[in-house]
Amino acid sequence: MSDQARSFHKIAFVSSQTPEAEAARARLVVRYGDVSEDDADVIVALGGDGLMLQTLHRFRDRGLPIYGMHRGTVGFLMNTFREDGLPERLAAALPVTIHPLLMEVVDAQGVRHRAPAINEVSLWRQSYQAAKLRISIDGRVRLEELICDGIIVATPAGSTAYNLSAHGPILPLGTALLALTPISPFRPRRWRGALVPDKARIDIAVLEADKRPVSAAADHFEVRDIIAVTTRLDTSSSIDMLFDPDHGLDERILREQFVY
């Protein structure tokens, strides 16, 4: 048995609060034990993609890989749930390193805010008035004026979440790209978003901020009445997700893109 397999015997289980997920956790704890998070070599998360997002934030930069099993509603980022052979599955699992986006925001009072986003950084209009935004990539203005309900900057991990519902592209995990997806664009009508290198710095300026107030969020952290947002990949921060070799995420990504 490899060192990796031996280390993965020290499992800490977390679950969502649904009866299905809690019952699954109770059965797995009886079967495999449950160590404290401080003593664990791996975290097994039971739930859906929402629980996975919470777990990734909670254990970011702690050196603990996260292995998800689907006991929730949406499970793009989760492995198939099975109770048998968990240590062997963990030993054979393939790691994918996730780097969060770093959102830096300036609000209308000039206060600066910073927050990480594993799924996406999102901007939305706060009133009946459409947002008016200017988008720059690496210091060069690429879109002088975008009139819309908002815009999303999504990581590959987040591309199957809010980004997908806004008709943005799905990015396979490990892809060195970010999806820039408008929400209900009004002008220019034909702009449907862009794919940008994940090393790029994306600056979004809010035009007419007094008349057209806008908020910004990094996953669950929101700032209101903003005037500017900068976002970039934070390569100094990371967490590993573990996937079964036959996880089938690529197949699910293809299937989602051919739904009609």
Q: Is 49 annotated as a binding residue?
A: yes
Q: Is 162 annotated as a binding residue?
A: yes
Cis peptide before 95 (omega within 30 of 0): no
Q: How far apart are CA 49 and CA 161, in angstroms?
A: 9
Q: Is 161 annotated as a binding residue?
A: yes
Q: Is 5 annotated as a binding residue?
A: no
Q: How far apart are CA 165 and CA 161, in angstroms?
A: 7
Does the annotation count 203 as an active-site position? Answer: no
Question: Phi and psi of 229, rounded to 5°?
Answer: -135, 135
- Distances in Å between the alpha carbon of 99 and those of 56, 62, 66, 125, 191? 10, 13, 14, 27, 28
Other C-beta atoms within 10 Å of 32: how many? Answer: 17
Give the chain's radius of gyration (CA, Å): 20
Q: How far apart are CA 101 and CA 59, in angstroms?
A: 16
In the sheet where 120-125 sits, what is the strand order? 194-197, 177-183, 150-154, 120-125, 214-218, 221-223
Give the active site residue among 49, 203, 219, 240: 49
Q: Is 15 annotated as a binding residue?
A: no
Active site residues: 49
User: Which residues does the annotation place in the binding site for NAD(+)?
Assistant: 49-50, 119-120, 149, 157, 160-165
User: Which residues does the annotation place in the binding site?
Assistant: 49-50, 119-120, 149, 157, 160-165
